[in-house]
Structures are given as C-alpha cells and as structure tokens.
Structure 1
C-alpha cells in the first residue's frame, strides 16, 4: 500500500508539473501585434507606388513576411514621421514627396483646389552672401484677395515678417494664417548684397479660401506685323482648363502670330492640362506621342505615352476634388515657335511643357535656371481594394493622404532629362528688383528681352538699373523658395494613360 501510495503521489506530482509547464508556455507565447491602421495604409501604399521603392530597404516586400515584426516597425510613429522616414535620400534625390492630413493647413498646390491663402505669390532671395538674411519679392497679387485689399502690389519687397528680419529660419511664416509684413521703401545694391530701407507701418494679411484662376493675365501687343500674345499662366489647374482654352480662343480672334508664355511662377499641376496646353500652342500633331511616363517595377503596366489630343477635359470641383464634366474642342494657334519666361520657381509640368514641346516646335527660354523637377505623382488614399488610388472608396475614419513621387517623365524620344533647364537667354534674377511692376509692362527685363527677340528691335524703357554684379544661382535660391516644393506634376485618372 505504501508503495502504491508513493507511486500515486509521484504521478499526481508529474501531472501537476506538466500543468505548470503548460501554464508557463501560455504566458511566454508570442502575442500578435496589431498594426496601426493609418500607418499600415502609409507603408503599403508606399510599398506599392513609390517610384524609388526598390531603393528603400524599409519598403522591401520582406518587411511583411513577419506580421509582428512589421507591426512593431510601423507602430509607435506618427503617420507623417513614418512617411518621411521611407523617402529615398530625402532632400537630395527626393525633394518633393509629401503627406498631408486635410484637417490641417498645409502648404500645397494641387491640380485643382480651393485653399487658404493670403493671395500673394512671392520668391525669396538671399540679401547677402551669407544666405541668412532674406527678402521676399512679390511676384503677383490675386485680384480681390486679402493681399489685394491690403494694398500689396507686384514688385513689393518684404523685409520683415511680424516685426522680425526675414531670415532662412522664419521665412516660412509668410504662409501663416495671419501675417504682418514690413515693406521696403527703397532697395539698393552693393557688391555684397542688397541694402534696404523700410516703409513706416506694416501691412496685415489674413488668409481666406481662394480658388485662384491660374490664367492671370493676357495682353495683345502689336509691333508692325507681329501680333504678340503675352500670357501669364501660374498653375496647371485642371478646374480652369476651360478658362485656358478660352484664352487661346481670344488669341485666335486677336490674330496672334507670336506668343510669350510666362511660366516664371508656375510650379506645375495637372498632366492632362500640360498636354492640352501643347495642343493649344500648335495643334498640328494630334494623336502623336508627347510625354513618356515611367513608373516603378510594380506598375510597369502604367508606363507609356501621353498623346496629344484635339479635346481637353473640363473639370469642376466637388468636395475640393476635380470632377469630370465634359470634353471641349481645343483652340489652337498653329505656332511653330514660342518664347517661354522661366525662373527658379518654374517646375514640373512647366518643365515638361518646355522639354516635350521642343520636340515639335522651337521653344526659346528666357530668365533663370528652373527647379529641375522631372518627376510626378498621384494622390494615394486609404483605399486598399482600389490599390490606394480611389478617392470614392477611401476610408472615412481619417483624412490622411499621400503625395509621393510615383513616376518620372521624358519627352517623346525618352531623352535623358537635364538637372535643370538652363535658359537660352539668362536674365540676372536681381534685375527684376525695382522693375517688376504690373504684368505686361516692358520694364520687366524678361518680357523686354522676349519682345526684342521677336521684333529684332531694341526697346527703350525707363528701366531702373540695379548696377549689381550679384548673380545668386538657383541652387542657392531654391532652398529658400517654398513654392518649389509645393507644386508638381499630377495625374487625375490612370485610365487616361495611353499604353
């Protein structure tokens, strides 16, 4: 009996020990980590579409082979911190991708958009060789905007923001909801930079919602047999395709046989609008290839040509998104040469217009080196069932959306793009100071040069001589120019791509 009792005790003990081991095993089991929903969207959309996906180790498909490792990697970061950590050589190779939460005020300009703005466009210039103190030159004012009502004018020079000298550390405050601006009363030039004196008082501007018409100015100038059209076009906004087409109809009726196209302040926009603009300028190459788009290896099916068409799509804004309304026949001028004004703020769709159009007609550029943005993007939404491209099918739990670089483009011959476009006729950017008055005034050095090239005449004006040897190239200027990163080349509808 004692032996049996002993055996029984041993068996019970073993059973207890076994149960204890099972319990320990349960407590040590690897728990499933749930990935953050928004960050999951950010990573997977970038993994699918980002142009440089294969160059970024943290976007490798191998990242999702272990669900827990993947979740641990993406969790614990804000969506924007995760996004920017995934960019390829951010700031050097990729200077243009961004993420936004539409609940927040962001500094962007899209293919079609009503946005908060003070209504003044500006370029930022180093005041001296140290590139610390800056001034901002107002490019133009949107009619009826807060800036217009406050009395700001094209050519005004901003020296201070909210009472402080404009610098490389605070110039981004120019995009704030409310700003107090100090303007220069005079601008002088010495060998090492600008010398300014300030006006008394300040100009206060409060932002409001503006749907800016990018067809900013048109004028017919007549010199002998030359009927010259001067068109200022500030953004490739697809909700203003009808206004752009109407401007070319007006030029048709005016008998325009020469065109000066001012893209100095145009940072890009809609690909379809860019293609339509080429047709409006010439019109003789319908259905011919215009631009070639190249996506990453996961989207080779989207590689292909955008062809010239005799129709332009007309869009209206619905929920601040471009919504197709109708096709409209394009009004063409049948020009074989145009003159394009460019600057360190000219980018993307504007550069596409120059690079692709010159394969068909003569394109003479005047001004400064351009940004060098030969890449584009499409907006990515949290709509995984539609491969992140559908606005209608997006998750409504949040309002994050991505604008990463998803393709690069080439002209019809797929020529390698330059780093930047160097104009045929360079104009010192500082020569515009004191000479930038209303659009169309021939005091403007770039416009004056274009008119002289067209007419073969030397135009006499009361242009003020800046007497400056300053010639800061836009590799300095671009780093201080918020417009450069704000715009780009965008695609409305992937179904429109020609294969």
Structure 2
C-alpha cells in the first residue's frame, strides 16, 4: 500500500513586545507543533507497546513546547512515525502508518479493499536473495485475477517486464500490473531455474471483500470423516459464514479436522476466540488469551474468555458493525491438524498457541512468521485517547497501525520466536505440487491425511528430488506479510469506541 505524502506548512507565531521608542525591540518566537505530527507523536506516546524503550517517545519531550515542536516539525508524518519505532525491522516489523480515506480500523478484521484478487508468497531464486519469484497461493473467485486466467500454482517471474526482485516486488500491489509467468520451474542443488511464457497477464485492482472461507471438503477414509477447511483470514464480517461452515461439518459428521492456515496472516481476536469454540466447544467461560499493553494502559491488560456465542457483523461504510449474536456450532474435537507456512501469522499463531492448552494441535508445514503482538488503529481523536474513528478529525486522513499489545496463552507462557511445525514440509517442494485445494497431491494435505489415517497415500508427484535440497532460510524476509507495511494487521478491536 503506497503512502501519499502531505505537504506540511509550519505555522510560526511572532510575538512582539514594545518598550520605548529608544529601546531595542525584543522578539520572542514560538514554534507551533504541526497538527498532524502532533497527533502522530501523542498517539504513539500513549499507545505504542514499546513506548518506554523509545527515548524520543518519552514524556519529557513535551515539557518544552518549543523543543517539542522543533523535534516533530519538518518531517512528513510517515517519516516521524517510522523514526519512533523500536528497533524497526528487527523487533518491530509490523507497525505502519497510512494516509487514506479507506477505513483502517478493520485492518483485515473486516473490510473491502483494493485488490487484484491474487494471494502470493515470495521466494528467492538463489542464496543471493535478490531475484525472486512469486508463487500464486490462491485466486479470489470472480476477481480480476480470476478473469485474467491466473490460477493457484502459477509462478510470476517478471512484473511490468522486469525481473521480480527484492527491490520491486511491492509493485505487485499496484492498481494495475502486467505479469510474466513461468512456463517451467526446475531446481539445481543451489538455485531455482525458470523459463518464461511468451505471453503476459494484466491484472487491475477492484474493491473486493474477500471471503476468507476459501474451501471446504469432506474426505472419508473408513471411519474417519475428515473435514478440510481452508481459512485465509480472521474477518469479523464473515463470522456467520465461518459458523455456518462448522454447522455444515457437524451435519457431515466430521470427526477429524485439517485446518489450512498457510495463507492466513491474522485478523480479528473475536473471530479467533470463536474459532476455538467451533473446534472444541467444551471450555466456555475459561480464559483463552492474555493481552499485555504498555504501562500507560495497564487497565486494558487481562484475559479474553471463550464464549458459546459469536458476534455477527456487517460492513457499514467499510466499518464492521454489530448486528446480532449466534450460538457457536462446535465439532467437539480434542485434536486437530493445522497446515502452516512462512505466511502464517498473528491470529493464526494465536490459534495454535492458545488452543493447544486445551486440545492436541498437530502442525504441518514450515516455520511461521512469529507475530505474537497486535494493534489497534489510532485516529486523530485526542479527546478519546486516539481510539475513536467516529470522533476523528476529518481535516486529514492519516491513521496509525502501531503495535499496541503482546499476547500470551492462558498460562502466560513465553512465546517462541516462531512456531516450528511438528512435521516439516520444505516450501520449495510445493512448486510442482501446488494443485487445487483438496487435491491429495498437495504435500501438506497429504501429510495430514497420512497422520490421520495411518496410511501412506500414493500420488504421482512430479517434484524434482533436487528441490528438497534447496532451502533458503531467508524466505520470510521477502514475504510481504513481514514488511513494515504489514499486509495482515490487527488482532484486536479496541474496546474504546
């Protein structure tokens, strides 16, 4: 998402004090803080999770109005914001700011957004980490990408005629892109080798409210009624559809579940809590997650509890608006299998870390992102501690999405740097086998089914053996979910309206 820069005008007030006509005039200059930058700094000073660790966010900065104004003025709002982050890129990889008339408060928990309708992961072609390819994870039905003929498993090698690289991959998010696809993908022991198709594909963006319940199928192996559910985002405006999917699984007699979170970068905390109940359902009113805010918001610290009700939202002006409650449909499972990848983050990781305190959670795939922090959207509404969209200033469109809390499971266990799966699948092994959802040639799904059934499933996989030996541990550095822009954001809808 590109930032639009705002030209800032510094307002300088001059106060003149007149003595006698023979006296020298004394001039006192007062510098007025820029109003947008004042919002940025004060909102961060109040809410930023690592506020106490950032000297430039210390309360002492505002003891002198002139010094404060001189510090924050002269920067664009985004430059100021990013200068205030704690060890940006290492500790804080997820906070960001944007200048947009789109409602950000939902921030992937519920929203219509500009999109071409294709989700992708980025993979270095060799150890130099410069040239990349983008593997198409899935296509949103009816989207521009679908109409252009893109499909799951396509490999993008060039964008707008240029080799895809670590420097230009963000152009994949442009309003219109021309993509060159690979005709073939091969591997040596140290690199990926591609050949290009002669034709290209052009995709333009439209407003899309993507349904995160991407796929469901019942698979029967003897007495095992296995549900395979692909869930790509914790979006509150689809809580009713998620609950309906579990009602369908109950009707189908599902007694084993494979939950595919490979492309799920997070979303609504409420949805994550509801999902836990849909899976197990026997721990109503028990603590599920502990939220830890900074010292200025200790009153917001505390547990979120499992509930037998799920809130239903509709989008009103692109803002999730409460409509009603439904009883949770539960499968009463005591064990599930979760497919994960280097794109699995946040509320997805929460589901694994917190749910395994109650049931057995078996993970299959690749190391996850390691995002055990979340955020609320901050607006220019100082009278409401910057947490109210309805009472925001309409004189500008800047909005902040900084990390505002960390989360832990019910026992407050220290989080790992990332979730290492119980059964590892080399992500490069998917290039020859990224078939349509539900096809057992998918190595992730195949492994889950083998664990459930105790059978070895025979498929005609065409993956080259050399692909297994090629693994780049810096994959996640190029996954767009890990950039400071944060494509998958917000795990917590603020209780402050």
Q: State the TM-score, normalizing by the size of structure 1.
A: 0.93
Q: Which residue matches 1:302? A: 300
| Alignment equivalent of 2:205, drawn from 198, 204, 207 | 207
- Corresponding position of 2:10: none
Inter-partner Cα distance in structure 1 for 2:191 and 2:470 = 10
1:153-177 Cα shifts (integer Å, max 9, x gaps): 1001111111111111111111111
Structure 1 residues 388 and 495, CA gap change in structure 2 (3 angstroms)? closer
Which residue number corresponds to residue 282 of structure 1? Answer: 280
For 1:285 and 1:397, the matched residues in 2 are separated by 47
The equivalent of 1:418 in structure 2 is 416
Equivalent residue, structure 1, for 2:33: 35
Cα RMSD of the aligned pairs, angstroms, is: 1.7
1:458 and 2:453 aligned: no
- The answer for the alignment partner of 2:493 in structure 1 is 492
Q: After TM superposition, give the deviation of residue 22 of structure 1 in Å.
A: 4.5
Residue pairs, 1:167-206, within 5 angstroms: 167-206=165-204
Shift of 1:405: 0.2
> Which shows bigger deviation, 282-291 or 95-104?
95-104
Deviation at 1:43, TM superposition (A): 0.5
Counterpart position of 2:121: 123
Shift, 1:77, TM fit: 1.0
CA contact (8 A) 1:381 1:389 kept: yes
How far 1:471 sits from its partner (Å)?
Answer: 4.2
Q: Indicate the residue corresponding to 1:68 in structure 2.
A: 66
Distance 1:35 1:336, change over 3 A: same
1:24 shift after superposition: 2.4
Offset at residue 466 of structure 1 (A): 2.2
Per-residue CA shift, 1:76-126, capped at 9, x if unaligned?
A: 1111111111000100000000011114899x9521110110000000101
Aligned to 2:471: 472
Match of 1:318 in 2: 316
Change (3 A) 1:390 1:18: closer
> What are the residue-to-residue correspondences of 1:75-474 with 2, within 5 Å?
75-103=73-101, 110-468=108-466, 469-474=468-473
1:248-289 Cα shifts (integer Å, max 9, x gaps): 000000000000000000000011111110010000000000
> 1-side partners of 2:211 and 2:382: how far apart?
34
Deviations 1:301-348 (CA, angstroms, capped at 9, x unpaired):
000001000011111111211111111111000000000000000000
Matched residue, 1:483? 481
User: In the TM superposition, what are the counterparts of 1:12-23 in structure 2 within 5 Å?
Assistant: 19=20, 22-23=23-24
Residue of structure 2 equivalent to 1:24: 25
Instruction: Give the match's secondary structure for 1:323.
Output: strand
Q: Matched residue of 2:228: which SS? A: strand
CA distance in 2, matches of 1:413, 1:198: 51
- The change in CA–CA distance for 1:67 and 1:434 in structure 2 (over 3 A counts) is same
Distance 2:25 2:479 in 1: 61
| Structure 1 stretches of 4+ moved >6 Å | none
Name the SS of the counterpart of 2:456 in structure 1. Answer: coil
Structure 1 range deviating more: 361-370 or 319-328:
319-328
Query: What CA distance in whole angstroms lies between the structure 2 residues aligned with 1:421 and 1:178?
Result: 35
**Is the contact between residue 429 and residue 471 of structure 1 (CA under 8 Å) also seen in structure 2?**
no
Q: Is the 8 A contact 1:282 1:333 kept in 2?
A: yes
Q: CA deviation at 1:20?
A: 5.0
Q: Which has the higher helix share?
A: 1
CA distance in 2, matches of 1:335, 1:384: 46
Cα distance between partner residues in 2 of 1:490 and 1:54: 22
Structure 1 residue 197 displacement after superposition: 1.2
Whether the 8 Å contact between 2:107 and 2:490 is mirrored in structure 1 is no
Contact 2:189–2:470 (Cα < 8 Å) also in 1: no
SS at match of 2:157: strand
Provide the secondary structure at the position in 1 that maps to 2:20: helix
Aligned length: 475
